[in-house]
Chains A and B, each alone.
Chain A
C-alpha cells in the first residue's frame, strides 16, 4: 500500500489531516492525565494531613518499609521509562523491530516492578501489617497502634492504585506489541505508541513521589 493510502486509512473522517488528529489525541491524553493528577493528588493530600496528625505512628509505620526494595523498584521504573521513550522514538522512525524490542523490554521491566512489589506485600502480610482483623503492630512509642493501621491503609491504597495502573499499562503494551507486529504504525501514524508512552511516564511520575513519601522521609526520625 502506498504511503498516501495508508495515511488516509489511518485518518478518522472527522479530522482534517493527520497533524490535527495527532494534536487532538495528545491534548485528550493530557486532559486524562490531568484528572489522574487530581485523583492521586487527593490521596497525597490525605497522606500529608494524617502524617501531620499522627506523626509518631507515621514514623513507626514508615520505618517498616524496606528501602532497598523500594530503591531497586525506583531504578526498575526509571529504566522502563527510558525503554518506553526509545520505543516511541523508533516508532516515529518507522523501525518496527527496535520498536518491538523496546516495548518488550518495557513490559518485562513493568513485570519486574510488580514482582518486587508482590515480595513487599507478602512481607507486610507475614508481619501482620495488612489492615484488618489480623493487623498487629508492636509499638514502643507514644501513639495508638490503630494509627499505624491508617498508615498501612493509605500505603496499600496508594501503592495498590499505582500497581493497578502498571497492570493496565502492561495490557496496553501488549496491545501495542500486537499492533506493531501487524505493521499498524508508520512514521506518519504512531499516536497510540506515543499516548501509551505518556501514560507509562505518568505512572513513573506517581512513583517518583510515592517512594520518598512512604519509604524515605521518616527513616531516621524518632517517633
Chain B
C-alpha cells in the first residue's frame, strides 16, 4: 500500500523505551501502600502501556476504520461485562427483598 503512513523504527524504539519506563514506574508505585489507589494507579499505568502497544506495535493508529471500531466495541463490551457484574456483586447487601428461604 504505497503512500500509506507507517511508523518508523525510531517510533518503535521510543515506544519500547516508554514501556520499560512505565514498567519501572508501576513496580516503584507497588512499594508504597496507597490503599484502594494501588489497583487504580496500577491499572491506569497498565492501560497506558496497553494503548502504546495497540496504537503503535499493533499499528491500530494506521488501521482501517473497520478495525478501529471492532477494537473499541470489544473494549466497550468488556466494560459492560466487568461493570455490570461488579454492580451486581457490590450491591447485594443493599437488597431489601424478604428472602423466603431464610
> A residues engaging B (CB < 8 A)?
19, 22-23, 26-27, 30-31, 34, 37-38, 41-42, 44-45, 48-49, 52-53, 67, 71, 74-75, 78-79, 81-82, 84-86, 89, 92, 197-198, 201-202, 204-205, 208-209, 211-213, 215-222
Structural contact, A220 and B78, CB atoms closer than 8 A:
no
Most B CB contacts (10 A, CB to CB) among A82, A84, A204 go to A82
Q: How far is the CA of A218 from the CA of B37 in the complex (A)?
A: 10
Q: For the complex, what is the distance from the CA of A81 to the CA of B12, rounded to whole Å?
A: 10
Q: Would you mind naming 27 contact pairs between A and B with Cβ atoms under 8 Å apart? A: A30-B67, A34-B70, A34-B73, A38-B77, A41-B78, A41-B81, A41-B82, A44-B82, A49-B85, A49-B89, A71-B23, A71-B27, A78-B23, A81-B16, A198-B58, A208-B50, A211-B26, A211-B46, A212-B39, A212-B42, A213-B39, A215-B30, A217-B42, A219-B30, A219-B38, A220-B32, A221-B33
Residues of B within 8 A of A (CB): 1, 6, 9, 12-13, 15-16, 19-20, 23, 26-27, 29-33, 35, 38-39, 42-43, 45-46, 49-50, 53-54, 57-58, 63-64, 66-67, 70-71, 73-75, 77-78, 81-82, 85-86, 89-90
Contact at A220–B31, with CB atoms within 8 Å?
Answer: yes
The distance from the CB of B89 to the nearest CB of chain A, in whole angstroms, is 5
> A74's closest neighbor in chain B, by CB?
B23
Chain A neighbourhood of B12, CB < 8 A: 82, 85-86, 89
Residue contact A81 to B81, C-beta cutoff 8 Å: no
Q: Is the interface of B mostly helix, strand, loop or mixed?
A: helix
With A34-B74, A218-B38 given, name 4 new contacts (CB 8 A).
A45-B81, A75-B20, A78-B20, A212-B30
Contacts of A85 in B (CB 8 A): 12, 57
Looking at the complex, which one of B20, B42, B54, B89 makes contact with A213 (CB distance below 8 Å)?
Answer: B42
Provide the residues of chain B in CB contact with A48, threshold 8 Å: 82, 86
Picked from B35, B53, B64, B74, the residue with its CB within 8 Å of the CB of A27 is B64
Give Cα A55 to B67, complex, Å: 38
**A31 surroundings in chain B (CB, below 8 A):** 70
CB distance from B13 to the nearest CB of A (A): 7
B42 cross-chain contacts in A, Cβ below 8 A: 212-213, 216-217
Asked if A220 meets B81 with Cβ closer than 8 Å, knowing A48-B86, A81-B57, the reply is: no
B30 A216 Cβ-Cβ under 8 A = yes
Q: Determine whether the beta carbon of B53 is less than 8 Å from that of A49.
A: no
Instruction: Tell me whether A205 and B67 are in contact (CB under 8 A).
Output: no
Closest to B49 in A: A208
